């Protein structure tokens, strides 16, 4: 079946527009033997919000890279703003008004917010440019995230991940010489909490009204269902469906993405199974209520993003008894020059020692085993870890933690940017490992993941505000304690 996402004139609400802003025809992109895009037809109309969903590895990143001029297509034709020809480099993309907020944040941490704004606005020059850059970004932040409390003079390194992402998003909507015509948002809410995320979605509504297009790439299906005019679903380098958002619900999207396999929600283990298991951890963050974990429990840490959950886990971490799954892969997780296998075995060298020396064959065998268990999509575990997509890198980091002999696994919002199917696999693995006696402390910003936990502690401003038992974990209870 041809992969097509060109709205028929009779069906489209945008049929009156003469030109689509972006028109991809039969676009293919290969990297050596790998076909990342396999004949994609896609249009983005002026003033629409197009949602783009799909697995990690479905081709979304490649599609974005074509739009931003970072890559050129192998074949097919691309038309932007009525002008045929590909966007041959990032500068050309910028001149056409294409802006992109990347999933891996792209701000320079050593510069201030204002200076980072200047970087993308060469027009801000001459006397007093820094004041002008500051007021530009502050105005954008005020518009997108009212009540944000970010100073333009602050160094990016001093901001939390959430704040950085807010700056990155706001920066994409600033205008000096060229007004944005298409803003690409790649997992924009992955580090945002519920309230800032809804501010962003509201802003998307406003800018599309004014004729600017938005490409919203996300794993948060409810967001595309709420905000997008149309939703394109990608799978294996093709667009497998593209319909007005109204015809979809969560289940139909998941079904399209995963080829029809959709799980029923995992039943929580009954609380009485936990009685009699021994307490393995007791810690009191910032003098609030204590957190208690028993062996074999999955403990959720909830609350809004950036309320001390990460700091609590990092402080709690002790190498002897615990393993950590980092949330900020680049900073805390990946050894960029190492192979996938080496990245997994780093927490468990003891297992591979023969006469005091590392046995490379044993290490490789273990890597192979994890490839199967975690379904890591790599032809060879000796490949560099950076050859994997973000979600698969995250799987390798999970494998690292599970491969260690640590009894307690700390997880720092590890599912950011991970696709639906992988999440289900990992949830199942966490369940199995907990049943085998491991304890999990799981900070997550997603309500769905808190449902996977036995008990939940809700954080606010570094303190535990509520401890919810198995029957008390509801969205209302969590939100109540969060605000």
Partner 1 sequence: MSEVAREVPGLPVPKSGARKRFAFLLSLTLLGLLLLLWVILAISTDSFATTGNFVNLMRQASLWTIIAIGQTFVIITAGIDLSVGAVVGLASTVVAMLLVAHVPIALACLITLAMGVAIGMFHGFAIVQMRLPPFITTLATLTALRGIGLLMTGGQTIAGFPRSFGAFSRGAVLGIPNLFWMVILVAIPAGLLLHQTRWGRHIYAAGSNPEAARLSGINVGRTIYLAYIISATLAAFAGILTASRIGIGVATTGDGWELQSIASSVIGGTSLFGAVGTVIGPVLGAILLTTINNGANLLNVNPFWQRVITGGLIIVIVYFDQRRRRRS
Binding test (CB under 8 A) with partner 1, winner from 142, 251, 368, 380: 380
Contact flag: residue 218 with partner 1 (CB under 8 A): no
Q: How far is the CB of 337 from partner 1 (least distance, A)?
A: 5
The least distance separating partner 1 from the CB of residue 119, rounded to whole angstroms, comes to 20
123/336 with CB nearer partner 1:
336
346 lies in the binding site for partner 1 (CB under 8 A) = yes
- Could you say whether residue 342 binds partner 1 (CB under 8 A)? yes
Least separation in angstroms between residue 473's CB and partner 1 is: 28
Interface with partner 1, residue 58, by CB under 8 A: yes
Q: Please state whether beta strands 230-235 and 49-54 pair in parallel, antiparallel, or not at all (unpaired).
A: parallel
Question: Which residues from 233-272 bind partner 1, rule CB under 8 A?
Answer: 236-237
Distance CA 215, CA 207 (A): 12
Using the rule CB under 8 A, is 400 a contact of partner 1?
yes
Among 160, 255, 280, 317, binds partner 1 (CB under 8 A): 317
Residue (58 or 200) nearer to partner 1, CB = 58
Q: Is 105 an interacting residue with respect to partner 1 (CB under 8 A)?
A: no
| Window contacting partner 1 (CB under 8 A); options: 85-93, 114-122, 383-391, 440-448 | 383-391
- In the complex, what is the shortest distance from the CB of residue 10 to partner 1, in angstroms, rounded to a whole number? 34
Total of chain residues touching partner 1, rule CB under 8 A: 57
In the complex with partner 1, the residue whose CB is nearer, 7 or 327, is: 327
**Which residue, 109 or 290, has its beta carbon nearer to partner 1?**
109
Please choose, out of 142-150, 213-221, 340-348, 461-469, the segment that lies near partner 1 by the rule CB under 8 A. 340-348
**Taking the complex as a whole, how short is the minimal distance between the CB of residue 277 and partner 1, in angstroms?**
24
Residues near 428 by beta carbon (within 8 Å), at least 6 away in sequence: 266
Among 222, 288, 338, 447, which residue interacts with partner 1 (rule: CB under 8 A)? 338
SS3 annotation, the chain: CCCCCCCCCCCCCCCCCCCCCEEEEEEEEEECCEEEEEEEEEEECCCCEEEEEECCCCCHHHHHHHHCCCCCCCEEEEEECCEECCCCCHHHHHHCCEEEECCCCCCCCCCEHHHHHHHHCCCCCCCCHHHHHHHHHHHHHHHHCCCCCCCCCCEHHHCCHHHHHHHHHHHHCCCCCCCCCEEEEECCCCCCCHHHHHHHHHHHHHHHHCCCEEEEECCCHHHHHHHCCEEEEEECCEEEEEEEHHHCCHHHHHHHHHCCCCCCCCCCCCHHHCCCCCEEEEECHHHCCCEEEECCCEEEEECCCCCCHHHHHHHHCCCCCEEEECCCHHHHHCCCCCEHHHHHHCCCHHHHEECCEECHHHHHHHHHHHHHHHCCCCCCCCCEHHHCCHHHHHHHHHHHHHHCCCCEEEEECCCCCCCHHHHHHHHHHHHHHHHCCCEEEEECCCHHHHCCCCEEEEEECCEEEEEECCCCCCHHHHHHHHC
Residue of 39, 47, 57, 241 interacting with partner 1 (CB under 8 A): 57
| CB closer to partner 1, 193 vs 332 | 332
Report residue 241 CA to chain centroid gap.
Answer: 22
User: What Rg, from alpha-carbon coordinates, does the chain have?
Assistant: 23
Residue that is written with structure tokens 């509520």 in the block = 466
Rounded least distance, CB 393 to partner 1, Å: 11
Q: Should residue 146 be labelled a site residue for partner 1 when binding is judged by CB under 8 A?
A: no
Residue 36 touches partner 1, criterion: CB under 8 A:
yes
Q: Does 331 bind partner 1 (CB under 8 A)?
A: yes
Answer yes or no whether residue 34 interacts with partner 1 by CB under 8 A. Answer: yes
- The residue range among 205-213, 241-249, 322-330, 439-447 that interacts with partner 1, by the rule CB under 8 A, is 322-330
Q: Which is nearer to partner 1, 60 or 121 (CB)?
A: 60
User: CB-based contacts of 418: which residues, under 8 Å, 6+ apart?
Assistant: 56, 219, 390, 391, 394, 395, 426
CB of 347 to partner 1, least distance (A): 5
Tell which one of 378, 450, 456, 468 touches partner 1 (CB under 8 A): 378
Neighbours of 202 (CB within 10 A): 12
474 binds partner 1 (CB under 8 A): no
Contact region for partner 1 (CB under 8 A) — 78-86, 148-156, 387-395, 420-428? 387-395
Q: Which of 47, 51, 59, 241 binds partner 1 (CB under 8 A)?
A: 59
Binding pattern for the stretch 68-87 against partner 1, x by CB under 8 A and - elsewhere: --------------------
Whether 37 contacts 62, CB under 8 Å:
yes
CA distances from 130 to 94, 157, 277 (A): 21, 18, 59
Q: Nearer Cβ to partner 1, position 77 or 383?
A: 383
451 contributes a contact to partner 1 by CB under 8 A: no
The residues that touch partner 1, with contacts defined as CB under 8 A, are 31-36, 56-62, 65, 236-237, 314, 317, 319-320, 322-324, 326, 331-339, 342, 346-347, 349-350, 353, 356-358, 377-380, 382-384, 386-389, 392, 400, 404, 406
């Amino acid at each position: 079946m041809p992969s097509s996402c060109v709205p028929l004139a009779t069906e489209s609400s945008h049929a009156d527009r003469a030109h689509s802003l972006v028109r991809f025809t039969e676009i293919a992109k290969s990297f050596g033997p790998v076909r990342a895009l396999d004949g994609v037809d896609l249009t983005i109309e002026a003033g629409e919000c197009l949602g783009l969903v799909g697995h990690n590895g479905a081709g979304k990143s490649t599609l974005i890279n074509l739009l931003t001029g970072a890559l050129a297509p192998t074949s097919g034709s691309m038309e932007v703003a009525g002008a045929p020809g590909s966007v041959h480099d990032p500068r050309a993309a910028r001149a056409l008004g294409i802006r992109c907020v990347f999933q891996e944040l792209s701000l320079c941490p050593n510069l201030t917010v204002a200076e980072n704004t200047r970087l993308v606005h060469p027009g801000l020059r001459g006397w007093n440019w820094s004041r002008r850059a500051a007021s530009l970004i502050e105005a954008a932040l005020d518009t997108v995230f009212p009540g944000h409390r970010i100073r333009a003079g602050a160094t990016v390194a001093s901001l939390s991940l959430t704040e950085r992402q807010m700056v990155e998003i706001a920066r994409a909507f600033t205008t000096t010489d060229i007004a944005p015509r298409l803003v690409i948002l790649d997992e924009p809410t992955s580090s945002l909490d519920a309230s800032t995320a809804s501010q962003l979605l509201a802003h998307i509504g406003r800018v599309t009204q004014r004729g600017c297009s938005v490409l919203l790439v996300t794993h948060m299906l409810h967001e595309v269902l709420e905000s997008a005019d149309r939703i394109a679903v990608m799978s294996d380098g093709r667009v497998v469906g593209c319909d007005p958002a109204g015809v979809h619900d969560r289940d139909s999207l998941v079904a399209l993405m995963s080829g029809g396999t959709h799980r029923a929600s995992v039943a929580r283990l009954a609380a009485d199974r936990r009685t009699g298991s021994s307490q393995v951890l007791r810690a009191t963050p910032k003098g609030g209520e204590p957190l208690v974990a028993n062996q074999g429990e999955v403990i959720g840490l909830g609350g809004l993003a950036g309320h001390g959950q990460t700091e609590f886990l990092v402080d709690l971490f002790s190498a002897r008894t615990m393993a950590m799954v980092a949330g900020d892969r680049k900073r805390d997780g990946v050894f960029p020059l190492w192979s996938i296998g080496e990245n997994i075995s780093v927490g468990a060298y003891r297992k591979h020692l023969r006469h005091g020396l590392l046995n490379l064959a044993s290490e490789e065998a273990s890597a192979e085993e994890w490839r199967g268990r975690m379904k890591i999509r790599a032809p060879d575990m000796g490949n560099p870890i950076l050859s994997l997509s973000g979600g698969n890198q995250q799987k390798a980091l999970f494998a690292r933690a599970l491969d260690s002999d640590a009894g307690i696994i700390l997880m720092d919002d590890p599912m950011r940017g991970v696709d639906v199917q992988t999440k289900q696999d990992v949830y199942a693995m966490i369940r199995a490992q907990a049943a085998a006696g491991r304890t999990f402390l799981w900070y997550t910003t997603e309500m769905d993941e808190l449902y996977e936990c036995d008990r939940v502690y809700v954080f606010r401003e570094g303190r535990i505000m509520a401890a919810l038992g198995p029957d008390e974990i509801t969205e209302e209870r969590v939100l109540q304690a969060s605000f």
